Structure 1
């Protein structure tokens, strides 16, 4: 099973050219894909509906889109309002049916400067060859460590409470004649999970320590509900982003894949294609068996 996490920078490549089809070619071949920075109806991308375009380019995938926020992009044709919402968010594609999804809006603080935007975590339940897994495609804040830690704590609380909360609906249908559940059984919310996305932080950061359950106060201590960094577990060092800082090119890994402990025996390899220019990020691949 091949996992892929990719911040597609709304179709703009490292060369500054907008071409969403390049990103589609990169991700084709993965089994479960977590995309970030997917948008609808922005002038910079020709008002394209990018989730719809990706569905057309990749017709063999099941898809789900979760906008973190939207704003008015409506127009008027004569006396008729053409309703349209300008959206920005994250997306999941899967070779297997996506049983259910729900969107979690991550905590944020109002900024004076620089620009800050709402960050999303799109959760999907997928029945995979390794069993039912909750897959989350997320994008953490770029503005600072404090906001990312707050967002991670929010996600960890959701993860810890998954069994108590259950899926997006629960209980017996008390109005079966109206078929609220479409005759589907109560959805499960398994403890097994995969987090993929743009975490805007690097290995060794305090954010990573929070996710992997390491406490700075007791060397070697590890919380039981921790997730495992797939790349680090495999003993690899990769980079998914390049930035010129003080005149030097710095290679950074901002995109990551974290898995629950029951999945670590299935990790086989991880890699990235640093030759790809379809985005300012490079795609992160993780293979499980």
Structure 2
């Protein structure tokens, strides 16, 4: 199965133009797509509903959307009727197979005094694969605070670890027909893949929280309940392969860095076949990443 993750920057490409058709062409037809920076009703992108636009451009896919930011954008018309709109910013998950259940987890957020900080989320979907059910996460960590990202990394790991014990959208064997035609609770498997823009480099301390610290003598000291970096495990290329060219900010110059990752639970790591970064993509300031798993 082929998985893709792409921070689409609201559709704004390297030429500063919004072009969703270009993004769709760059993604192609993988089995599962994880998107970040998908927004609804923001002025800079024409007050458009990007979730609906993208869903229409991928008509053969099931999809769910999980906003981190969710604020009022309603219009009260002259007759007093409310035209309902929510200004949202978040993650999207699309799958050729049905998304059996979904949860949108809110990640920790620090209340910063001056730096602009957005609420971030972790969108979870359970899909069936030829090897059985799999949890897929699309996420986007904080862009400005290393400590905030560390808290988000620890929360992500906790969500993955606790999921099987908590059960899915409901648990128990006595659900009525009001909830299910089959009587079965949605599965909540242990195996998981987490894809997205983590806003951290492989040299950052937050990276070690996710995959374990590096030791000169013994290499990566991953624990059984850590995650595995699919790029590193598959030996697909330069460990610091850039996936984004960031604009200059404050005292930080323009830099090309690896910010986008695919992490898997250790039991899924042996099924990684390959990973690829499309360095030619022009649809965003990020490049899409692709992972193939033997499922």
TM range (shorter): over 0.9
Q: CA deviation at 1:205?
A: 2.1
* Superimposed CA distance per residue, residues 118-174 of structure 1 (whole angstroms, 9 cap, x where no aligned partner): 001000001112321100100001112100010111111111112221111112446
Partner in structure 2 of residue 283 of structure 1: 288
Alignment partners' CA distance in 2, 1:150 and 1:247: 23
Q: CA deviation at 1:250?
A: 3.1
Is 1:263 the counterpart of 2:262? The answer is: no
Q: CA deviation at 1:263?
A: 1.6
Partner in structure 1 of residue 163 of structure 2: 162
Partner in structure 2 of residue 192 of structure 1: 191
Alignment partners' CA distance in 1, 2:209 and 2:216: 12
Give the TM-score of the pair, scaled to structure 2. Answer: 0.91
**Which shifted more, 148-157 or 219-228?**
219-228
Is 1:10 the counterpart of 2:4? The answer is: no
Partner in structure 1 of residue 117 of structure 2: 116
Gaps of 5+ in 1: none
Distance 1:30 1:81, change over 3 A: same
Q: Is the 8 A contact 1:73 1:85 kept in 2?
A: yes
* Superimposed CA distance per residue, residues 100-123 of structure 1 (whole angstroms, 9 cap, x where no aligned partner): 000000000111121101001000
Alignment partners' CA distance in 2, 1:217 and 1:271: 27
Is 1:254 the counterpart of 2:259? The answer is: yes
Partner in structure 2 of residue 239 of structure 1: 242
Q: Is the 8 A contact 2:212 2:222 kept in 1?
A: yes
Q: Is the 8 A contact 1:203 1:253 kept in 2?
A: yes
Q: CA deviation at 1:240?
A: 0.7
Q: CA deviation at 1:59?
A: 0.4
Distance 1:108 1:219, change over 3 A: farther
Gaps of 5+ in 2: none
After superposition, residues 37-56 of structure 1 pair within 5 angstroms as: 37-56=37-56
Q: CA deviation at 1:33?
A: 0.9
Distance 1:90 1:247, change over 3 A: closer
Alignment partners' CA distance in 2, 1:222 and 1:272: 24
Alignment partners' CA distance in 1, 2:91 and 2:282: 20
Alignment partners' CA distance in 2, 1:40 and 1:247: 30
